[in-house]
Amino acid sequence: MIIISAIIEITPQLLRGLGITISVLLASAIIAYIVAFVAGLSRVSNNVILNKATGVYVEVFRGTSLIVQLFWLYYAIPMLFGIQLGSNWWTGVIAIGLNYGAYLSEVVRGSILAVDKGQTEAAIALNMSRYQRMRLIILPQAVRMMLPEFGNYTIQIMKATSLVSLIGMRDILYYGDIMRSTNLSQAPLIYVIVLFIYFILALPFIWLTRKGETIAKKGVVS
């Protein structure tokens, strides 16, 4: 009974952070997707400079920790260059977006390369331009292959949003930390509820990922 009343007391407090968690999730996911396609297409382009430059970006952002990148954008850039990337919200969204954009660009690149060579050859035989081949033939098939991985990474982005509490954003984890510091004995329960909320938030994406897998299977067998 005590637990139930505690849960009833704690949950609404945590949910005050729901808006921030969701808005950071949506914004950084959109940035990550856009970055993924731009970088992924650059990685398969014939332009050497574009290709190499994007390669450096991908390896740097994949190879270093997200939390350090976040701190770098938040603390180091303003000190070094005297510029703010915008509010804390923007800093968090940009860091998460660039980090996951790097991972997802590899998914985009891999899926494009995984489309059967014969598809490109058939498109050439029909005298399509490079651009037409990509838009009409390769991408529609590649996107189907990407869907499951995009779902997986979106779940990861959702979980990564909790890092913005470290740069003062008031998301779900932030409120959890605040409550724990005022009421240490409740810590286990608070964090269980925090986990549970994140799990509930992940459910739609888990479902979408499954859906994506079915679509991916249907679309590419010739």
Partner 1 sequence: MSNVLTENKKNSVSLSTEPIVKYLDVKKSFGDTHVLKGINLEIRPGEKIAVIGPSGSGKTTIIRMLMTLEEPTSGDIIVNGKNLWKMEKNGQLVKANEKHIREVRGDIGMVFQHFNLFPHMTILENCMAAPIHVKKENKDEVRERSIKMLERVGLGTKLDFYPSQLSGGQKQRVAMARALVMRPKIMLFDEVTSALDPELVGEVLEVIRDIAENDDMAMVLVTHEMEFALDIADKVLFLDQGVIAEQGTANEVLVDSKNERVQSFLKRFRKA
* Comparison of 22 and 128: residue with beta carbon closer to partner 1: 128
Which amino acid, 48?
V
Compute the least distance from the CB of residue 145 to partner 1, in Å.
Answer: 11
Region from 5-13, 102-110, 124-132, 199-207 binding partner 1, contact rule CB under 8 A: 124-132
Contact pick of 116, 192, 203, 217 for partner 1 (by CB under 8 A)? 116
* Comparison of 81 and 131: residue with beta carbon closer to partner 1: 131
Is 43 one of the binding residues for partner 1 (CB under 8 A)? no
**Total residues contacting partner 1 (rule CB under 8 A)?**
22
* Comparison of 185 and 222: residue with beta carbon closer to partner 1: 222
Region from 1-9, 68-76, 81-89, 112-120 binding partner 1, contact rule CB under 8 A: 112-120
Distance CA 60, CA 191 (A): 32
Helices 18-43 + 172-182 axis angle, to 10: 140
For the chain, the maximum distance between any two Cα atoms, rounded to a whole number of angstroms, is 73
Is 209 one of the binding residues for partner 1 (CB under 8 A)? no
Is 113 one of the binding residues for partner 1 (CB under 8 A)? no
Q: Measure Cα distances from 68 to 26, 63, 145 in Å.
A: 22, 11, 31
Compute the least distance from the CB of residue 137 to partner 1, in Å.
Answer: 6
Residue that is written with structure tokens 């779900």 in the block: 172
Is residue 58 within 8 A of residue 39, CB to CB? The reply is yes
Q: Measure Cα distances from 95 to 133, 135, 157, 160 in Å.
A: 33, 30, 11, 10
Contact pick of 60, 68, 113, 126 for partner 1 (by CB under 8 A)? 126
Contact pick of 4, 125, 184, 200 for partner 1 (by CB under 8 A)? 125
Which two tokens mark 20?
A: 């921030």
Is 130 one of the binding residues for partner 1 (CB under 8 A)? yes
Contacts of 55 (CB under 8 A, 6+ apart): 43
Distance CA 150, CA 107 (A): 8
Compute the least distance from the CB of residue 45 to partner 1, in Å.
Answer: 14
By CB under 8 A, name the binding residues for partner 1.
116, 118-119, 121-122, 124-130, 132, 136-137, 140-141, 144, 219-222
